[in-house]
Amino acid sequence: MQSEQQILIELKKVSKVYGKGQAKMQALGGIDLVIERGDFVAVMGPSGSGKSTCMNVLGCLDTPTAGNYLFDGVDVGTLTRDQRALLRRYYLGFVFQGFNLLNRTSALENVELPLIYRGMAARERRAHALDALKLVGLNGWEDHTPGELSGGQQQRVAIARAIVTKPSVLLADEPTGNLDSSRSREIMELLSSFNSEQGITIVMVTHEPDMAAFAKRQIHFLDGLLASDASYKGQV
């Protein structure tokens, strides 16, 4: 039986419907999902299966039509928009397929950005950003802009930006989608190290089985429902 202290994320009968009448489309059909602290979950499924909608709900970027989303025991549906923004700012980190870096600013300035939103003093946020870049293996690349970095290096900057706030959960949407196989493996090994060594809970959408194999657990969506949910023992 799962302990409440171990449960970080819980979805209870969560559904999401877009549109009305003939344009009505059910993206999620009342799913139940529990994610414990320190888990590493790969979310898989074909396009339109509901996995992206689920991730948007988990990231407080969208709200369910029905059901409950509990984060660390708090019903997110009872929070105001400002409170949900604070939840994102202090507890969630995001990594996207497209890196989403500011092109004319340095790697260091990109990583500092979430700390600016927190109102952290310049000297302190610089120290935190330097530490984060060092953790992702980019010590010495602080002053380079995204255009001066490879795709793999840009994704490392994006990961540093996501972890600089020391989030409880890292939500990664196709983090290796724009990378070759060698760089993809490097990024997955990096994410695995943050999960195993720092205890960061990771929820990652991917279409690639070899990338999903790095996770401790794989869940598959189909037609807005959870089709399967299994721990993965054959980690690469």
Cα distances from 38 to residues 6, 18, 41, in angstroms, run 9, 32, 10
DSSP state, residue 102: -
Query: Can you give the pLDDT at residue 5?
Result: 59
Q: Would the pLDDT of 234 be above 60?
A: no
Tell me, yes or no, whether 51 lies in a domain: yes
Let me know if residue 181 belongs to a domain: yes
CATH of the domain at 85: 3.40.50.300
* 3-state class percentages of the chain: helix first, strand second, coil last, to nearest 5: 35, 30, 35
Contact 89, 117 (CB under 8 A): yes
Of residues 86 and 99, the one with the higher pLDDT is 86
For residue 233, pLDDT over 80 is answered with: no
- What is the number of structural domains in the chain? 1
125 inside domain: no
- Phi (first) and psi of residue 173, to 5 degrees: -105, 105
Residue 142 included in any domain: no
Mean pLDDT of the chain: 91
Q: Is the pLDDT of residue 100 over 90?
A: no
Does a structural domain hold residue 126? no
From 138, 142, 91, 79, select the one nearest 118 (Cα to Cα). 91
Q: pLDDT at position 121, please?
A: 95
pTM of the model: 0.90
Determine, yes or no, domain membership for 1.
no
Nearest CA to 42 out of 233, 207, 196 is that of: 207
pLDDT at 1: 44
Q: Answer whether residue 194 shows pLDDT above 60.
A: yes
Does any domain span residue 110?
no
- Asked if residue 236 is part of any domain, the answer here is no
pLDDT tens readout for residues 7-66: 999 999 999 999 888 888 999 999 999 999 999 999 999 999 999 999 999 999 999 999
For residues 220 and 230, give the distance between their C-alpha atoms in angstroms, rounded to a whole number.
Answer: 9
Q: pLDDT per residue over 159-187, tens digit each?
A: 999 999 999 999 999 998 888 888 899 99
Range of the domain at 186: 7-101+167-231
The torsion defined by the Cα of 129, 100, 163 and 71, in degrees rounded to 10, comes to 140
Mean pLDDT of 137-156: 93
Task: State the average pLDDT over residues 120-140.
Answer: 94
Alpha-carbon gap, residue 124 to 226, rounded angstroms: 43
The answer, yes or no, to whether residue 235 has pLDDT greater than 80, is: no
